[in-house]
Structure 1
Amino acid sequence: MTAGVDADAVRAYLRGVARRGRPVLYRDAARELALEPPHTIHQLALLLEQLMVQDAQADVPLIAALVVSKQRNGLPAPGFFARARELGRYQGPDTGIPAREYHAAELKRAVDYWG
């Protein structure tokens, strides 16, 4: 992983994203965090999962909801939903109306809390 980019750095970056009030694409977040190849999106995903665990333990909104995929039409990657299920935060599928509704609610909570 890129030196200097850890979960704390990602959280600090995402707090700025929350203040803007709209999500950021994975590729843009990876670029702005200066993650270095190879596998920059995977690096970012691992860091986001760390943040999800921290947020669930602290019982606060998932700041990782602020990062979305262009290919998934504004939803996070399936790993977001899988981790949310593991953490007891979500029980539905990775796609469809339940995923969209859950993400919209979590995104709003994240913007309101972290912004």
Structure 2
Amino acid sequence: MGLNTPASNAPDLTERLRAQLRRVAQRGVPITYQELAQSLGLEPPNTIHQLTSLLEALMEEDATAERPFIAALVVSKARRGLPALGFFDCARRLGRCDGDDGDVEAWAYHAQEFAAAVAYWRDAEPGTRDRPHDY
């Protein structure tokens, strides 16, 4: 099943995405956009764009709930372990990042957010991490 299915399946896909990222947090090793898209069964066209739109929706949920960004667990192979530029743009829009997305501040911000996401989501059970958390 890909994202090219009726819109009524979008909430289910978002839940599947968060569940998959919880498993990534348990491993403590990032996943690439391509690996994640494949694991979710997303279909062309614009597979990565579909995924990044879903990840940004998760970032909005996490910001509202004052949780670490679970999307920090996803990285770009082309950016040598950093998330895509859209991750930093979204984090800035949500008031959680103020540095440049291509410099040492980006590496530091992502390292901190990745560690916080792993620590927060590693042991999370579905529905148990809906409250704000100091991280």
Determine the structure 2 residue equivalent to 1:6.
13
Q: TM-score, normalised by structure 2?
A: 0.82
Distance 1:69 1:2 in 2: 23
* CA apart distance, 1:107: 0.1
Q: From 37, 43, 47, give the equivalent of 1:40.
A: 47
Residue 105 of structure 1 aligns with which residue? Answer: 112
Aligned to 1:91: 98
TM-score by length of structure 1 reads: 0.96
Q: Does the alignment pair 1:17 with 2:24? A: yes
Once residues 16 and 56 of structure 2 are traced to their aligned partners in structure 1, the CA distance between those partners, rounded to angstroms, is 14
Q: How many residues align?
A: 115
CA RMSD of aligned residues (A): 1.0
1:29 to 16, 36, 43: 36
Identity of matched residues, %: 54
1:80 to 87, 99, 102: 87
Query: Which runs of 5 or more residues in structure 1 are unaligned?
Result: none
Q: Distance in 1 between matches of 2:4 and 2:119?
A: 30
Which structure's CA Rg is the greater one?
2
**Letter of the aligned partner of 1:71 in structure 2?**
A
Deviations 1:92-114 (A, max 9, x none): 11111000000000000000000
- Give the corresponding residue for 1:58: 65
Q: What CA distance in whole angstroms lies between the structure 1 residues aligned with 2:16 and 2:120?
A: 18
Cα distance in 1, alignment partners of residues 64 and 15 from structure 2: 15
